[in-house]
Structure 1
């Protein structure tokens, strides 16, 4: 990805396709579809990551379930109006897609780099077991005045560092995209399983502006 416009938001994932294509939307006659990809973690668990693909990149009528895919792109967000409020929807927007028989050892299965700006005060907390966590919402600029809003989670000393970030601060983040299941309360007796997506931060830098 040599295009300068996209240097501030770079994603590479590789994993197994576990769904059919689901139509999302079209832009000037170009259809976009979502594909679910399972990406393995080192801990033998996995992340389920939605990938947004143009019908011009791949034949969306084919069944690729059980095959492996390598994707280069960006982590993007949009607001979907749901139950009288907006819900932040996240997916990997594919710029390059390659179906492969097996995953290459030198391909990073889940890597993201973001260069953006803190858009709300970071939330620092500790888990019941004493693990330090900080939630950072990063605004990453896109062309034509648009931005993607990416939730990021920092751990340990990175969490302590991020706690002091000012709103508007310029931050660079390296990490991986992770999925997390949670229960959404629908009524007094009903709960619905949902999946949240965020960036698990392995390295971050706060850039001093001059």
Structure 2
């Protein structure tokens, strides 16, 4: 073979080898598509406003209601409170004052003060009087429904025990005046001096 032909053949072979080497290098530099791992997507966390978590986990305080059922009641153009409580409930003086206890009976269709007929129930009227107000409680019968705690003539501070409910019987008002009454207690309230009528319901309605 002539030198010119040999040189040409070597140049062609060298070019082929360089092309193969470049292709191999390129294939090593770029991994196959199957091996490419995509970047994970990042979702930013939602940050609640300050205090939102505490508000969601802390329940608002609830009031414990008094165990009293109270409603407005009127009779003869005057205002009263009709009150019912669970047996065992203790009434307390709503203000400081002096206690007066009087007992009544219904005898022969007449309401009598201070009578003593054992076969008929005795109904107490419990009055608490201060310089500014007078409240009268008319609960159920003595011994079966009502137990007097503060005796006649006692001077009480506000909140002191007055009487206890020991039975579910209705107020004396049912026996004396209105047979439709089912409440255990009928209460009236007046301002002093002058004996001006006041609404007694707010005294039992609670805060």
Tell me the TM-score normalized by structure 2.
0.27
User: Greater Rg, structure 1 or structure 2?
Assistant: 2
Q: Which has the higher contact order (CA 8 A, sep 6+)?
A: 2
More strand by share: 1
Tell me the TM-score normalized by structure 1.
0.27
